[in-house]
């Protein structure tokens, strides 16, 4: 009965996450979108809207019509990669929406003729990315918690800090960032963080992480090599002490600790940047958790997912309910199904990958 209640509660939270903005935000963003379309010059040239053309993305006549089949399989990839490492889901979702479906090239055409529509498309891409990451984070958090691979106090501390960042940035930037500027910031941050994460996998980057290496080795021996070196009492996350000044826990017999104020501050800045870029922020939380908190990658994915989930819920609600940003539900609905499939697979395959592979 207890297990059934847990499953019911998880399904309820996921359903609430998906349905609430759909119900509450409909009329608000429909009016905003229609106003932007009405003010855009009509015609068949770039930067114009042909009223006789077939409706595509966001219901805009003549806009690209993304393939739902490609969207489904791309979303499986997005859900798998995020649920495996706790990062890069938003980036991969962005690559799909920006490049694979050609939404960026289409939106750029309105930079001079309809700046409002140009920025609305940019904001819609940001929110669409976050929908995919948000569901993946919800499914991943539940799975990793059951597996004993989620550091709940650390995830909560990061989530507390992420709340204000996830609210503040959408309020400040929604409707003010052009598509060109958004793409530039997106690419720059991805390049910098990607380089940093790769550095963390080098011998020099690994040198000061003795506890994480010991825990990772014990986990690998138990799950990858089927060794019996770790007993059941040592397996999974075990909270040793929990206070406002210090939290200590063990994973496969190795003790870790952190000061809660550090992840609270880190969560604020990471969630703010993630909300600005329209991503989950996992690829920012991952280096924080491996470098600052010193966790092995086997704990990072679940802990990152929990933090990302909180940030995504708040950011999506702020974008859609407060700022009236629209999303293209036919595409997002299919993608969410793919996200669920991929996110169920990731946690079950990640335990068979060595720690260093997950980082790379």
How many independent structural domains does the chain possess? 1
Closest Cα to residue 354, out of 218, 253, 235?
A: 218
Structural domain including 342 reads: 2-359
Cα atoms in the Cβ-side hemisphere of radius 13 Å centred on 261: 2
How many beta carbons lie within 10 A of that of residue 43, not counting itself? 13
CA angle 42/48/50 to nearest 5° reads 55
Q: How far is CA 359 from CA 89, 192, 198, 213, 355, in A?
A: 14, 15, 7, 13, 7
174 secondary structure, DSSP code = T
> What pTM was computed for the model?
0.77
pLDDT in tens for each of the 360 residues of the chain?
A: 455 545 545 555 555 555 555 544 555 556 788 888 888 899 888 888 998 999 999 999 999 999 999 999 999 999 999 888 777 788 889 899 988 898 988 888 898 899 889 989 989 998 999 999 999 999 988 888 888 888 888 888 888 888 887 788 777 877 777 777 877 887 887 777 777 767 666 666 555 555 555 555 555 555 555 554 554 445 778 888 888 889 888 887 778 888 889 889 988 888 888 778 777 677 778 778 877 777 777 788 888 888 888 888 888 888 888 888 889 999 999 999 999 999 998 887 776 655 455 554
């Amino acid at each position: 009965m207890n297990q059934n209640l847990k499953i019911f509660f998880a399904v309820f939270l996921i359903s609430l996450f998906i349905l609430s903005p759909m119900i509450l935000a409909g009329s608000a963003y429909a009016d905003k979108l229609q106003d932007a379309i009405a003010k855009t010059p009509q015609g068949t040239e770039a930067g114009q809207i042909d009223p006789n053309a077939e409706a595509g993305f966001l219901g805009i006549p003549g806009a690209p019509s993304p393939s739902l089949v490609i969207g489904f399989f791309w979303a499986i990839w997005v859900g798998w990669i995020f649920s495996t490492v706790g990062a890069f889901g938003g980036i991969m979702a962005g690559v799909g929406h920006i490049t694979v479906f050609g939404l960026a090239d289409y939106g750029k055409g309105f930079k001079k003729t309809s700046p409002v529509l140009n920025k609305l498309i940019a904001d819609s891409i940001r929110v669409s990315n976050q929908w995919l990451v948000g569901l993946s984070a919800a499914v991943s958090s539940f799975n990793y918690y059951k597996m004993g691979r989620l550091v709940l106090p650390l995830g909560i501390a990061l989530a507390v800090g992420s709340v204000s960042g996830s609210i503040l940035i959408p309020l400040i930037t929604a409707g003010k960032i052009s598509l060109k500027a958004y793409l530039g910031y997106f690419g720059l941050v991805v390049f910098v963080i990607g380089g940093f994460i790769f550095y963390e996998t080098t011998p020099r980057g690994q040198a000061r992480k003795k506890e994480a290496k010991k825990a990772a080795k014990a986990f690998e021996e138990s799950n990858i090599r089927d060794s019996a070196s770790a007993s059941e009492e040592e397996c999974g996350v075990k909270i040793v002490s929990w206070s406002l000044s210090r939290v200590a826990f063990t994973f496969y017999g190795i003790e870790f600790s952190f000061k809660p104020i550090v992840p609270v501050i880190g969560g604020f800045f990471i969630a703010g940047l993630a909300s600005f870029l329209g991503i989950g922020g996992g690829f920012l939380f991952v280096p924080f958790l491996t470098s600052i908190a010193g966790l092995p990658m086997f704990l990072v994915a679940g802990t990152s997912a929990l933090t990302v989930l909180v940030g995504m819920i708040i950011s999506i609600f702020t974008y859609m309910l407060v700022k009236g940003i629209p999303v293209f539900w036919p595409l997002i609905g299919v993608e969410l199904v793919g996200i669920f499939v991929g996110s169920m697979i990731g946690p079950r395959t990640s335990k068979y990958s060595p720690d260093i592979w997950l980082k790379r």
